[in-house]
Structure 1
């Protein structure tokens, strides 16, 4: 029996979602399957895979389809669906601070020395 790991379509019309299943390669796409090992939703950009079970089935000789193999690699690498790294939210929330140009300092006015002289005269 040639076992495959492939997508099984679920969901409504024009709103596809898939289950990642282990099935006999001769059974129809949405037909009989052995085990569900994950889900894939391209509309909501969500995917879950039980990597432990996938590794077990691959060790038993199951062949993943090309699409499922790409999903497995992406989940193992931790890359979100869409392939772009998402920067942390804290970095996006802080706007860059404007760089203020330094103005030439005006000469500070020196205090009048008269009070000091007055202090000396009173003594």
Structure 2
């Protein structure tokens, strides 16, 4: 099953995350199928490709709870 989840990048104690599409059995820092954005929790800076995200969600990709909250905050997903 495909998941929309975070992939950690950055240095020790300076995390940055990429928003990626991956198989749920792949390890956290494994090879993604597609990269659709990034998020920096220190500066609260984020950039999401909403067109790609909506396309993948239409294919049935499930976001993780953390990613779901980020997308809701960015108003890409509305409930």
- Other-structure match for 2:29: 30
The structure where strand makes up a greater share of residues is 2
The equivalent residue for 1:17 is 16
Structure 1 vs Structure 2 CA RMSD? 1.0
1:48, CA displacement in angstroms? 0.9
How far apart, in 2, do the equivalents of 1:75 and 1:58 lie? 15
The structure where helix makes up a greater share of residues is 1
TM-score, normalization by structure 1: 0.60
Following TM superposition, the consecutive aligned residue runs of length 4 or more in structure 1 with deviations greater than 6 angstroms are none
Could you say which structure has the larger radius of gyration? 1
Unaligned stretches of 5+ residues in structure 1? 78-123
The structure showing larger relative contact order (alpha-carbon pairs under 8 Å, at least 6 residues apart) is: 2
Scaled by the length of structure 2, the TM-score of the pair is 0.92
Q: Give the Å deviation of 1:76.
A: 1.2
Gaps (5+ residues) in structure 2?
Answer: none
